[in-house]
Amino acid sequence: MPPALLVAAAAAYACNVALGTAVAVRLIDTSRFRWLHHALYTTTCVLSGCALSALLATGDRGARQTASVLAPAAVPLAMVPFVDARSPRHPLVALAAAPFFAAAVVRSRKEVG
């Protein structure tokens, strides 16, 4: 089973992507509570940092390898606030983190099975 912090980080990321996508396609309107997307982004970043730290702190080789798979997600997460939210680049930069979250969860599951 993947570490709880990794699962929480991946879930927060997925929720934020889902919310951003729903807003972009005008499925929902968050103009009255725009802070929610920002709060999910902050939660994703904090949980990702905690998951990365926890994976590295275990000293376990498999956990360190999972951390190395997750670590590159930090780059698009760090870049996304600097890309205009209304530009087509914003979702592309944000989605660039997806493969790293997915691969880290899959990699962490391999350690168990």
Query: What's the pLDDT tens digit per position in 44-88?
Result: 999 999 999 999 998 789 999 999 999 999 999 999 999 998 899
pLDDT at 113 exceeding the cut of 60: no
d(CA 61, CA 25): 42
* Residue that wins the pLDDT comparison between 1 and 110: 110
In this prediction the pTM is 0.92
Structural domain count, the chain? 1
For residues 59 and 35, give the distance between their C-alpha atoms in angstroms, rounded to a whole number. Answer: 37
Domain residue limits at 30:
4-112
Instruction: Name the residue with higher pLDDT: 1 or 113.
Output: 1
- 47: its two tokens: 């949980």
Instruction: Quote the longest CA-to-CA distance of the chain.
Output: 46
What pLDDT score does 17 carry?
Answer: 96
Q: DSSP string covering the chain, please? A: ---HHHHHHHHHHHHHHHHHHHHHTTSS--TT-THHHHHHHHHHHHHHHHHHHHHHHT--HHHHHHHHHHGGGHHHHHHGGGS-TTSTHHHHHHHTTHHHHHHHHHHHHHHH-
The stretch 83-99 carries a mean pLDDT of: 95
